[in-house]
Each structure stands twice: as C-alpha cells, then as structure tokens.
Amino acid sequence: MKLKPLYDRVVVKKIELETATPGGIILPDSAKEESQFAEVVAVGEGKLLNNGQIVPLKVKEGQKVLISKYAGSDVEINGEEYTILKEEDILAIVED
Amino acid sequence: MKLKPLYDRVVVKKIELETATPGGIILPDSAKEESQFAEVVAVGEGKLLNNGQIVPLKVKEGQKVLISKYAGSDVEINGEEYTILKEEDILAIVED
Amino acid sequence: MKLKPLYDRVVVKKIELETATPGGIILPDSAKEESQFAEVVAVGEGKLLNNGQIVPLKVKEGQKVLISKYAGSDVEINGEEYTILKEEDILAIVED
Amino acid sequence: MKLKPLYDRVVVKKIELETATPGGIILPDSAKEESQFAEVVAVGEGKLLNNGQIVPLKVKEGQKVLISKYAGSDVEINGEEYTILKEEDILAIVED
Amino acid sequence: MKLKPLYDRVVVKKIELETATPGGIILPDSAKEESQFAEVVAVGEGKLLNNGQIVPLKVKEGQKVLISKYAGSDVEINGEEYTILKEEDILAIVED
Amino acid sequence: MKLKPLYDRVVVKKIELETATPGGIILPDSAKEESQFAEVVAVGEGKLLNNGQIVPLKVKEGQKVLISKYAGSDVEINGEEYTILKEEDILAIVED
Amino acid sequence: MKLKPLYDRVVVKKIELETATPGGIILPDSAKEESQFAEVVAVGEGKLLNNGQIVPLKVKEGQKVLISKYAGSDVEINGEEYTILKEEDILAIVED
C-alpha cells in the first residue's frame, strides 16, 4: 500500500540527524522546538494556482528536509508512521 | 437516492484499511488522530477559480483516500453514512 | 410576495427526506448534525467574480439539496419559513 | 439633506411587511432573528473591483429588500432613521 | 502646518449637523452609535490596487460625509483636532 | 552603520512637533493616542505586488510624517532609536 | 551538512552588533524588544507568486540584517544554532 499525495502535499518520514565533526566527534543535530528533520517519501503533482496552473514542487523523493514541527497529519501504513504536509511547511532541504 | 456534490466537493464513505505483510501477518493501517481512510463515492464537476474557470478534480470515484478527520459534513442516505468534504481536505490517494 | 435572491444567494425550504428500500421498508434519510435537506425555491443571477464576471449558479429551482445546517438566514413569508444562503453552503444536489 | 452612499453601499429604511392571503387574512411576514425587511432609499455608484472596474449595483431605489439584521450603521436625518450597508449584506429583493 | 494623506486616506474634521424643517423647526441630525458626521479637509492621491494602478478617490475637499465612528486615527494640528481614515470607512456623502 | 529597509518598509525617527500661530503663540501639535509624528530616515525600494511588479514608495527621506503609534519595530543604532514600519502604516505627510 | 531554504525562506545566524563612534567609544547597537540582528547564511530561490512566477530575493548571503524577533524557526546544525524565516520578516539590511 502506498500514499500518493495530492497537489502541493508531500509525504515524509520523521528522522533524527547527526553530524560527524572533522575531529570525529558526533554532534547530534537538533531541530529546536518549532522544527523537525524528515525524509521525503512521496510528492504531489504540484501546487494549484488561482489561474488554474499547476506548479511542480521543488522537493524530490529521498531528500532530507527540515519541517515545521506541528505541520501536517500523521498516518500509519504497513506498521510505519508517516506525516503528510504541504510543501510550504517545509523550511529547507538538508544537504550533506 | 443519490448525492451529486457541487464544484470541488467530494462524497466519501469512511473505511478501515489493513495491509498484509509478505510474511502473511495482517497489520492494521492506522490513520492517526488527525486523519481517516475513506472511499470516494462521488465527485463534483470541478473547482471554481477566481477567473470563472472550472478545474476538474484529481480524485475519481472508487479510489481509496486519506482525509482530514474533522473535515466535511456527515449525512445518512438509505441507511448508509457518508461524508461530504472539499477535495483540498483529501490528503492523499491510497494505492495498493 | 416573492423573494428574489441577489448574486450567488439561493432561497430554500428545509424538508425531511426518506428512502424506500427495494424490499419496501422506508428508511428515514438523516442529515447529521452539520447538515440539513432542503428544496430550492429561488436562485440568484450568479456569483460576482473579482474580474466583474457573473457566473450562473449550478443549482436550479425545484432541486432537492443538502445544505450546511447553520448556514444562511431565516425569514417567514405568507406564513411559510424559508432560508437564504450562498450557493457555496450547498453541499450536494440530492437525486432520486 | 440627503445621503449619497459611496461605491457598493446602500441607504435603506427598515420596515415591517405583511401579506394578505387569498382568503383575506393578513399574515405578518416575519424576518427571523438574523434578517430584517427594508426599503432602498439610495444606492452607491457601484462596487470597486481589484482591477479598478466599477460594477453597478443590482438593487434600485424604491425596492423592498431583506437585509442581514446586524449589518450596517444607523443614522438619523430630518428626524428619520436610516441604515447604510453594503449591497452584499442584502439577502434578497422582495417582490409583490 | 498641513496634513497630506497617503493613497486612499482622507483627513476629516468631525462636526455636528442639523436640519431645518419646512415649518422652520430645527431637528438635530443624529449619527447613531456607529456613525459620525465630518467635513473632508484633505484627500489622498488614490487607492493603490493589486495591479499597481492608482484609483482616484470619490470624496472631495469640503464635502460633508458620514463616517464609521471608530474608524481612523486622531491628531491635533494648530490647536484643531482631525481624524485620518481610509475612504472605505466613509459611508456616504451628505448633500444639502 | 546604516539601515536599508526592504521593499515597502520605511525607517523613521519619532519626533515632537509644534506650530507657531500668526500671533506668535506656540501650540504643541499633538498626535493623539493612536498616532505619532516622525521623520523619514530611509525608504525601501518599493512594494512588491502580486504580479511581481515593484511600486516605488510615495514618502521621501527627510519628510515629516504622521504614523500609527503602535506600528513597526524599534531598534537602536549608534545610540539613536529608530522605528521600521511599512509605508501603509504612515497616515499622512506633514507639510509646513 | 548544509541547509538550502525553499522559495522565499532565508537561513540566518543571530548576532550582536556594536558601533564605534568617531571619538572611539563603543556603543552597543540594540535591537529593541521586537527586533534582532542576524547574518544571512543562505537564501531561497525566490518567492512564488500567485501567477506562478518566482521573484528572486533581495537579501544576499553574508549580509547583516535586522529581523522580527519572534519570526522563524530555530535549528541546530553541527553544534551551531540557526533561524529559518521568510524574507518578509527581515526588516532591513544593516550596512556599515
């Protein structure tokens, strides 16, 4: 079973991230109270504008992102928990 | 008696879903507090934009969807309970 | 005396509906807490868009509809009670 | 002294209405809690749209209308009380 | 010192009005709780629309108007008190 | 150090104003509770409209203005206090 | 690990600023209650308008800015704390 989000919605899976320093120490990256790391699992076809145009989303499947912590709705599929939110609630893409 | 929703409204019937794992164990899929599985029963003609254009909806009759739990209005027809909501309150299409 | 609603407003008369099953049992159709059956008595000329265009309404005089229960304003004309609401507060047309 | 309303505003005078039945009985027409009968005394030049266009109003001087009860502002001119409201707060034109 | 209002703002001076009846009796005109008579002292260049167009205002310097009582901001210049408000908070022009 | 406001923002310095009457008496001009005199220190490039157009501001550096008292954010630079607000929170230009 | 903000979002690092007077005295610059100095670390591709157009942002990486104090969401990456906010919550660019 698979979720195919509509329009500008995105399915993500919440994750924890950490960073290795050059000296080899592992620092936990910490999304503060208002934010949360996540991985993009599926993206909608695009945002429906007032003029009827569909604008494709910027985020891609597999990208790591930082999202607004309380944005979106949770769902459990095949024993895994996912969050569905609008792309505008994604704050940034996290690059290595 | 049949409901024909107007514009971007959709009639759905709330359902429960479960998934069979490869090993044969049945896991109940669980829409969390904010969401609910449903089957699309009827769809409106399309969303009326500010420029007067009607944009056809993406969801189709018979599709399984995940909806915002508290969206829409309930009605009972022929002894069956339905929910009428706007397409923007449908979070994702659920595919097998 | 007659009411002629303006723009996208519609005059309806609230009604109760029931359905006869094939086996002949009469089931009361039940609009739940948030909704209410009604019959369309008069419709406005159309919705005024931001670009000045008037878009004719979809509902027609005589149709049975399901409306948001608390939408609109009540008025009593010739001893009969009516409700005036906007077409966007009509959820669906009810067809036999 | 005379009031000339601006744009989509309308000056009305609140009234009570009644209807004579064919059998000659007089039934008081009753605007329920949310509504009120009134007579149009003066109308503005038209609604200013976002594109700068002025759209003439639908209601005319002398028409009887049903208005939202709490809409508009009251004023007393020459010992008579009037209400100034926007045309969108007029629910319907009342025709004989 | 002089105030030159910006865009769709208008400077007014609040006044009291009265009307002489044909029989010569003076009736105080009374703006009710929500409204207030005023005289236009200065008008802005026009309303800035979303498309960048400036639409000149309808009210002119010297006109008597009826305004929403609690609209606008007060200021005292040269010992005189004025109110600055948007033209959309002017309900009507008062003509003799 | 200098502040360069973005888009339709304006940097002002709050001031007190007074007016000399022809007879030579000095009257303090008094912005009432909701308003405040100020001098424009820097202006943004212009307002960004929905269509992507930038519309230059009307106010100029050095002008005296009347602003909404509680609008904007305060900042202290080089020991001097400034307020940054949007041009739409400037009520009027004050001319001598 | 690096944050790449989406659309009109900007990543900043909050800082304290001070100014040397000509006489050599160091004055702490003080963003008052509602504001906060920061340095721009990364900027999104541009603001998505209603017509589908992307408008590039005005602020650039490395600029010092004044932001609304409570705007945006905090995140900790590699042991450093950052804030992600929309460009419209940046009040001004701070130039030397």
pLDDT band at residue B17, thresholds of 50, 70 and 90? confident
Q: Which amino acid is at G43?
A: V
The minimal CB distance from C9 to the residues D29, D31, D91 is found for D91
Q: Mean pLDDT, to the nearest integer, of E8-25?
A: 80
Which of E17, E66, E70 has the highest number of chain D CBs within 10 A, making it the mutation to test binding with D?
E66
Q: Would residue B2 count as lying in a domain?
A: no
Nearest residue in chain D measured CA to CA from E50:
D50
Question: What chain A residue is nearest to B46 in terms of C-alpha separation?
Answer: A52
Report phi then psi at E87, rounded to 5.
Answer: -60, -30
For A26: left if phi > 0, alpha if psi spans -120 to 50, otherwise beta; the answer is beta
Can you read off the two tokens belonging to residue E43?
């008008």
Which residues on A lie below 8 Å from G10 (Cβ)?
none
Parent domain of D52: 9-94
Distances (CA, A) of F68 to B75, D74, F31, G45: 50, 28, 10, 34
pLDDT of residue A21: 62
pLDDT at F52: 93
- When comparing pLDDT for B81 and B26, which is higher? B81
Report CB contact under 8 Å: C48, D50: no
What's the confidence (pLDDT) of residue D24? 62
Contact B49 A45 (CB under 8 A): no
Q: Chains near E, with 3+ CB pairs < 8 A?
A: D, F
Q: Is G48 an interface residue toward A (CB < 8 Å)? A: yes
**Cross-chain Cβ contact D32/C74 below 8 Å:** yes
pLDDT tops 80 at residue E33? no
Residue B96 confidence class, pLDDT cut points 50, 70, 90? confident
DSSP letter at D33 equals T
Q: What is the pLDDT of residue D78?
A: 80
Evaluate whether residue A4 is within a structural domain.
no
Give domain status of residue C13, yes or no: yes
Average pLDDT over residues C58-86: 92
Q: What is the pLDDT of residues B73-91, one digit of tens each?
A: 999 888 889 999 999 999 9
Least Cα separation, residue A29 to chain G (angstroms) = 5
Instruction: Answer whether G2 sits within 8 Å of A88, measured CB to CB.
Output: no
C4 falls within a domain: no
Position C84 pLDDT exceeds 60: yes
Whether E and B touch (3+ CB pairs < 8 Å), yes or no: no
Subunits with at least 3 CB pairs below 8 A relative to chain F? E, G
Q: Which of A2, A50, A75 sits opposite B31 (nearest CB)?
A: A75
- C35: pLDDT confidence band, cut at 50, 70 and 90? confident
Chain B: give the shortest CA distance to residue A48, in Å: 10
Interchain CB distance below 8 Å, B58 and A7: yes
How far does the CA of residue F42 sit from the closest CA of chain G (Å)?
10
Q: Which residues pair with A60 in a beta bridge?
A: none
Angle subtended at Cα F81 by Cα F75 and Cα F86, rounded to the nearest 5 degrees: 60
Q: Does residue D75 sit within a domain?
A: yes
Residue type, D25: I
Please report the pLDDT score of residue B22 as a whole number.
64
Per-residue model confidence as pLDDT tens digits over D32-79: 557 889 999 999 999 999 899 999 999 999 999 999 888 899 998 888
pLDDT at D19 over 70: no
For residue B32, the chain A residues in CB contact (below 8 A) are: 73-76, 81
**Residue E88: per-residue pLDDT:** 96
In a domain, E4, yes or no: no
CATH number of the domain bearing residue C75: 2.30.33.40
Cβ distance of B81 and C29 shorter than 8 Å: no
**D17 to chain C: which residues are within 8 Å by CB?**
1
Looking up tokens 């709330």 gives B14
Which pLDDT score, from 0 to 100, does residue C87 have? 97
Q: How far apart are CA C41 and CA B88, in angstroms?
A: 30
Report yes or no for ipTM above 0.95. Answer: no
> What is the per-residue pLDDT across G12-27, written as a single tens digit (0 to 9) for each?
999 987 766 666 666 5
pLDDT in tens, B39-83: 999 999 999 998 999 999 999 999 999 998 888 999 988 888 999
Residues 6+ apart with CB under 8 A from F77: F1, F2, F3, G19, G29
* pLDDT number for residue G69: 84
Total number of domains in chain F: 1
In-domain check, residue G80 = yes
Work out the minimum CA distance from B30 to partner chain C, whole angstroms.
25
Of G19, G34, G59, the CB nearest to F73: G34
Interface of A with G in 8-47 (CB under 8 A): 17, 19, 21, 27, 29-35, 47
Question: If pLDDT is split at 50, 70 and 90, which confidence band does C16 have?
Answer: confident
Q: Say if the Cβ atoms of D92 and C9 lie within 8 Å.
A: yes
Decide if F32 is inside a domain. Answer: yes
3 state SS of C21: coil
The one-letter code for the residue type at F51 is N
Q: Do chains G and C touch (3 or more CB pairs under 8 A)?
A: no
pLDDT for E56 equals 97
If you search the block for the tokens 């920061």, which residue do you land on? G38
Encode pLDDT of E76-86 as tens digits. 888 889 999 99
Note the pLDDT tens digit of each residue in G25-82: 665 666 555 789 999 999 999 999 989 999 999 999 999 999 988 889 999 888 889 9
Contacts of C76 in chain D (CB under 8 A): 29-32
Tens-place pLDDT, residues E50-79:
899 999 999 999 999 999 888 899 998 888
Residues of chain F falling short of pLDDT 70: 19-33
Of C7, C77, C81, which has the smallest distance from its Cβ to D19's Cβ? C77
Q: Which residue has the tokens 């790391």?
A: A37
Task: Please indicate whether residue B17 or residue B29 has the higher confidence score (pLDDT).
Answer: B17
Report chain A (96 residues): mean pLDDT per 10 consecutive residues: 94 83 62 80 96 96 93 87 95 92
Q: Which residues of G74-94 are buried (b: 16+ CB within 10 A; e: fewer)?
A: ebbbeeeebbbbbbebbbbbb
Q: What is the mean pLDDT of residues E3-26?
A: 82
For residue A47, give how far its alpha carbon lies from the nearest alpha carbon of chain G (Å): 9
DSSP label at residue A85: E
> Tokens at residue D82, please?
């009037």
Distance from CA of A68 to the nearest CA of G (A): 8
